[in-house]
Amino acid sequence: MAPAHACHRHVMLSGNVYRTVSDRCWDVPKRLADFTGMGLARQVLSPMPELLSYWLETGDAQPLLRYINEQTAGMVAAAPDRLVGLGAVPLQDLGLAVAELSHVMGVPGFAGVEIGSNVNGVPIGDPRFDPFFEACDALGAAVFVHALRPAGMDRLVGPPPLQQVLAYPTDVGLAAASVLTSGLMKRYPRLRLAFSHGGGTLGLLLPRLEQATRVFPALGDLPSPSAQARTLFYDTLVFDDATLRYLILLFGASQLMVGTDYPFNFREEAPVARLAAAGLDPSVQVQLAYRNAERFLGLDAGLR
Amino acid sequence: MAPAHACHRHVMLSGNVYRTVSDRCWDVPKRLADFTGMGLARQVLSPMPELLSYWLETGDAQPLLRYINEQTAGMVAAAPDRLVGLGAVPLQDLGLAVAELSHVMGVPGFAGVEIGSNVNGVPIGDPRFDPFFEACDALGAAVFVHALRPAGMDRLVGPPPLQQVLAYPTDVGLAAASVLTSGLMKRYPRLRLAFSHGGGTLGLLLPRLEQATRVFPALGDLPSPSAQARTLFYDTLVFDDATLRYLILLFGASQLMVGTDYPFNFREEAPVARLAAAGLDPSVQVQLAYRNAERFLGLDAGLR
């Protein structure tokens, strides 16, 4: 990182400024000070997705990800009742990924890992990743899928932020759809898998995919995509009350949990207040605010 | 075309079967016989998108599209009170496209044209297409945007139909977003532009795009994407009642109109009955069933 304005640093990748971030990325007391205003009791820390480094040689990626996991472990250890960690694993090498997963799951305070929506262009539902998901299943690791190096970049007309704004949710939607069409949850029914940004565009792909299973013989054996989708988790990071209510209808009130993108600029400032503002039943607010996250993270069963 | 089973033909492209289609594609009496069961009084004919042929040399594309337009004109002339035509234009050459548009708009029974969601990978909001949209604006031509050769193909895990099922709505969503981010409707506010498949994934991109205009200085001058989206038209072809109601909330009851994908396999069988089944107010059903389509097509002002 390189110095930037007060309390900020430039994240440098290959000598260029990738993103300018606030010290709330690594300063635990400052994070905790923000809890009250945001209505939070606990946060889950996950790596900035671009750091997942699937495109690096494994000899470079593995030590970098180990370093990131150690930093996350240090932050969680500083506030073990307030912070939970998600690790990073080098999915460009499934053997190394499983090894790092096993390591991370032995470190106090980790609930699982964050992975990208694709690995060097291959969506995460592709069966080649089964050994990794089998290990997640065996170890009880929660898997949070975040957009990364998305599809659709050549369909954008406008400034660079449109990557995050439009292509990220597009890639998350296609990644979630790939999980449904490959039958990943049929192979590993205990897997706990969550998708960023409300599942991106999945919601609007789902009814069409459901109808397609009734029309195309090649899709006739697919377990109901809508039923499958109700076994996945999603965050609430959609910035719109009507959209949140629509996702609850599609995915079920048991599958959504607060997401923030904190502390980046493009974040939800009042994630808990939004649940009330959206006019959700108090019991549904409790589910979305923490009950579902406890289930996804395995906190209900007791974190190591 | 090559013979297939009874009442069907294979559409042959470069010597391969592209799709097997029913004779309802070209048999006007058979189409009209289906009106009653579908609850229809009038249909709009548009070319099978793959025939738009943006990837052909213009010397091949222009005569092919002219032939298609002549076939459409012949069908419309056989039932001028029941059928309306949308033409095809070679958008790989804007001069030829404007010339064919002018020709088509002089043929009785044409309300406008169908175009692809992208032209050889360039989304239709790109300002390079402004001369075409300027001509549409000047001629009062309705423009129906249908998915074509979509982005996201490398993110699919499953059989070939997933192109239509998942990548088509993805590409339509990104195409509609490109119209919003490029400010096309600000440049041509009278333009009448409609998107297939309920706008594809646009609905779930829109709240995030709206929030982005408040966060990213580079997007700060963009006219409200949500307000812009309420000036575009969309079809109702989403196969789900909750989704249809969500789109009405987002886009407005004045902007949706019945779509069918008739007579292809992956179609809506009872498009009008679905409006009632979705629990829409009778006045909204009237808007979606024909009032909005009349406005989009310019039928309210009287078709030539």
Which chain A residues contact residue B125 at CB under 8 A?
157
Nearest to B125 among A157, A174, A181 (CB): A157
Give me A56's structure tokens.
Answer: 């690096």
Nearest to A201 among B161, B175, B204 (CB): B204
Task: Look at residue B239 and tell me whether its pLDDT is greater than 80.
Answer: yes
Nearest to B212 among A165, A207, A218 (CB): A165
Q: Which residue of B has its CA nearest to A184?
A: B157
H/E stretch holding B192 = strand B192-195
Which chain A residues contact residue B265 at CB under 8 A?
215-216
Q: Which of A201, A221, A234, A244 is the mutation pick for testing B, counting most B CBs within 10 A?
A: A201
Cβ within 8 Å of residue A62, ≥6 positions away:
A90, A93, A96, A100
Q: Is the separation of the CB atoms in B117 and B148 below 8 Å?
A: yes
Cβ within 8 Å of residue A278, ≥6 positions away:
A241, A244, A245
Percent of chain B, pLDDT > 90? Answer: 96
Q: Which residue of A has its CA nearest to B220?
A: A159
- Banded pLDDT at B303 (limits 50, 70, 90): low
Give me B21's structure tokens.
Answer: 């289609």
**CA nearest neighbour of A169 among A132, A199, A194:** A199
Half-sphere exposure in the Cβ direction for B77 (13 Å, CA): 8
Which chain B residues contact residue A151 at CB under 8 A?
151-152, 154-155
Task: Look at residue B302 and tell me whether its pLDDT is greater than 70.
Answer: no
**CA nearest neighbour of A86 among A94, A98, A71, A99:** A71
Question: Quick one: average pLDDT of B167-189?
Answer: 97
What backbone torsions phi and psi does residue A232 show, to the nearest 5 degrees?
-95, 160
Task: Look at residue B304 and tell me whether its pLDDT is greater than 60.
Answer: no
Gap between the Cα atoms of B44 and B21, Å rounded: 18
Q: Is A214 on the interface with B (CB under 8 A)?
A: no
What would the pLDDT profile of A148-171 be if each residue is shown by its tens digit?
Answer: 999 999 999 999 999 999 999 999
Q: How wide is the angle at C-alpha B28 spanned by C-alphas B25 and B31, nearest 5°?
A: 70
Q: What is the pLDDT of residue B184?
A: 97
Give me B229's structure tokens.
Answer: 């989206």
* Chain A residues 79-118 within an 8 A CB cutoff of chain B: 118
* pLDDT beneath 70, residues of chain A: 302-304
DSSP helix/strand/coil, A163:
helix
What would the pLDDT profile of B95-139 be if each residue is shown by its tens digit?
Answer: 999 999 999 999 999 999 999 999 999 999 999 999 999 999 999
Question: Quick one: average pLDDT of B69-94?
Answer: 98
ipTM over the 0.90 cut-off: yes
Using CB atoms within 10 Å of the CB of residue A250, give its burial: 0 to 12 exposed, 13 to 18 middle, 19+ buried: buried
DSSP label of B23: G
**Measured between CA atoms, how close is A28 to chain B, in angstroms?**
25
Task: Look at residue B209 and tell me whether its pLDDT is greater than 90.
Answer: yes
Q: Do A204 and B243 touch (CB under 8 A)?
A: yes
* Chain B residues 247-276 within an 8 A CB cutoff of chain A: 249-250, 265-266
What are the Cα distances from residue A157, in Å, to B124, B183, B198, B209? 9, 10, 21, 13
Which chain A residues contact residue B197 at CB under 8 A?
208
Q: Give me the count of residues in chain A.
A: 304
Q: Which residue of A has its CA nearest to B241?
A: A207
Say what the pTM is.
0.97
**Measured between CA atoms, how close is A94 to chain B, in angstroms?**
19
Gap between the Cα atoms of B139 and A39, Å rounded: 55
Strand partners, B210: none
Which chain B residues contact residue A155 at CB under 8 A?
118, 121, 123, 151, 171, 174-175, 178
What would the pLDDT profile of B240-290 be if each residue is shown by its tens digit?
Answer: 999 999 999 999 999 999 999 999 989 999 999 999 999 999 999 999 999
